[in-house]
Structure 1
Amino acid sequence: MNQLPMHDALKSLAWLEGTWKTEYVGQGKYPTIKPFTYHEEIVFASIGQPMFNYVAQSWHPEKKTPMHRETGFLKVIPGTNKVSLLLAHNFGLTTIEEGEIGDNEIVLKSSSITRLTMGCKDPAVVKISRKFKLIGEKLHHTVYMATTTTTKETEHLQAVYTKQTAIV
């Protein structure tokens, strides 16, 4: 597929386009689980519309086995600093997160979370918030969540990424 020009609505996020990969392990934690580490690759790809296609894939740092995958769209409302992230997660969760674009950052909070009624483990995720922030040449990504057993939003994931490729 030919690369289409970036939509004007994405120009404030042009720094985000490309493939980002953890150089060092990311950190995962939560009050109800054992802390863990992971590697991850995130791709933000322009498709000529006011959105990026988004795919994030994490894997175990030693075993190299897949851990988590989420795919969706990061959409900007043209003429605004408003942004939404629509994701489907491989463990049966879908999320809509909405927020704003700041100075080299995106801050999002969940407005809708749905999960499969069969095959999902408890506790259920009830809130998610996240921040993507460019600091120098590194992309910092932090995710907070609340569940049916831990109702206060608590840090869950934290990782720093280096850009691998710029999609041209």
Structure 2
Amino acid sequence: METGSLHNALKPLSFLIGKWTSINGKGSYPTIQPFEFGTDLEFSFIGQPMLNYKWISWHPTKRTPMHQESGFLRIKPGTCELALLVAHNFGITTLEMGTVEGKSIALYCDKSQINRIPFAKEPHVTGLKRTITYDEDTQQLEMLISMATTNTPDLTHHLAMTFKKL
């Protein structure tokens, strides 16, 4: 939902704005079997110096929902500093801090920036690293996510997605 003109602070993030769908999504982690998934992703604005963020992933053949995230990507005006505040449907919130450089975003959070509901399933997430890169030649967006948990304490590759704009 775009309302009004783009806030000047958002110009470095303008390449994200719109609806995206995954061309492919692959997941793996030391404690689970590799899997594939589809994802719909949206970055929108309402005139403030932030983007609204929505992610819905689904099973590639059954089309049943798998994971949802919703939040806000905020840029500190006049800088390349970012904060992505996300609520995940499995019972955690994350405050991912990072930067935008050109068409590439790097975000990170550790356990001090992760909150969870008391009955969230284990193992608990203790760290996340998210990179988002736009390739101007292919006009595709790539997102990579690494995760640490109480069972796997080091950041370990978890998800890779490539998106095309709708």
Q: TM-score, normalised by structure 1?
A: 0.94
Query: In 1, Cα distance between the equivalents of 2:159 and 2:2?
Result: 34
Show the counterpart of 1:11: 11
Query: In 2, Cα distance between the equivalents of 1:13 and 1:113?
Result: 24
Deviations 1:71-105 (A, max 9, x none): 00000000110000000000101000000011101
Displacement, 1:2?
6.7
Counterpart of 2:63, as a letter, is K
Q: Kindly report which structure 2 residues correspond to 1:135-154, keeping only aligned pairs within 5 A, or say none.
A: 135-136=135-136, 137-154=139-156
Query: In 2, Cα distance between the equivalents of 1:139 and 1:47?
Result: 22
The unaligned stretches of length 5 or more in structure 1 are none
Query: In 2, Cα distance between the equivalents of 1:128 and 1:12?
Result: 23
Q: TM-score, normalised by structure 2?
A: 0.95
Counterpart of 2:133, as a letter, is K
The unaligned stretches of length 5 or more in structure 2 are none
2:37 counterpart SS class: strand
Q: Stretches of 4+ moved more than 2 A in 1?
A: none
Query: In 2, Cα distance between the equivalents of 1:2 and 1:101?
Result: 21
Show the counterpart of 2:46: 47
2:15 counterpart SS class: helix
Cα RMSD (Å): 1.1
Displacement, 1:7?
0.6
